[in-house]
């Protein structure tokens, strides 16, 4: 059981590569940079929320 309140999520581009680099998310009221690592509990929770239809990750701003 790992309860998180994820209120927003958006991909962020790398300024070096121009590719999606991480997710900027607001979790439990705190803005966080979440890497694409399945072993990261925040990333796992975001992906679970997406799979459950409770969250959409916004595209990155140019």
Partner 1 sequence: MSTLKVTNLQHPSAASANVTLDSSGNAAFSGGITGVTSVNGGQLGARNAIINGAMNVNQRQLGTQTVNSTIYTTDRWQANQTAAGKYSVGNSTTAPSGFTNSFLATSLSAYSVSSTDIFFFQQNIEGYNSSHFGWGTSDAKSVVLSFYVRSSLTGTFGGCLANSAHNRSYPFSYTISSADTWERVSVAIAGDTTGTWLTTNGIGIQVIFGLGGGSTRSGTAGSWQASTLYTATGAVSLVGTSGATFYITGVQLEAGQLTPFEHENYTTTLQKCLRYFWRKTRVSNQNSYLSLGQGIGTTEVLATLSYPVPMRAAPTYSSSGSTHVAAHASTDFTQSGNSVSNTGVDSTGLNITGSTGAADRCYRVFIFGNDNYIQFDSEL
Residue 21 or 57 having the CB closest to partner 1: 21
Burial of 31 (0-12, 13-18, 19+ CB in 10 A): exposed
Q: What is the separation of C-alpha 23 from the centre of its chain, rounded to a whole number of angstroms?
A: 4
Binding of residue 48 to partner 1 (CB under 8 A): no
For residue 21, the tally of other CB atoms under 10 A from its CB is 17
Pattern of binders to partner 1 over 3-42, x per CB under 8 A? xxx------x-xxx----xx-x---x-xxxxxxxx-xxxx
Residues that bind partner 1 (CB under 8 A): 1-5, 12, 14-16, 21-22, 24, 28, 30-37, 39-43
């Amino acid at each position: 059981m790992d309860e998180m309140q994820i209120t927003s999520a958006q991909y962020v581009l790398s300024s070096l590569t121009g590719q999606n680099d991480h997710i900027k998310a607001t979790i439990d009221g705190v803005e966080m940079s979440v890497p694409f690592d399945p072993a990261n509990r925040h990333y796992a929770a975001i992906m679970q929320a997406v799979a459950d239809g409770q969250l959409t990750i916004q595209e990155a701003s140019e």
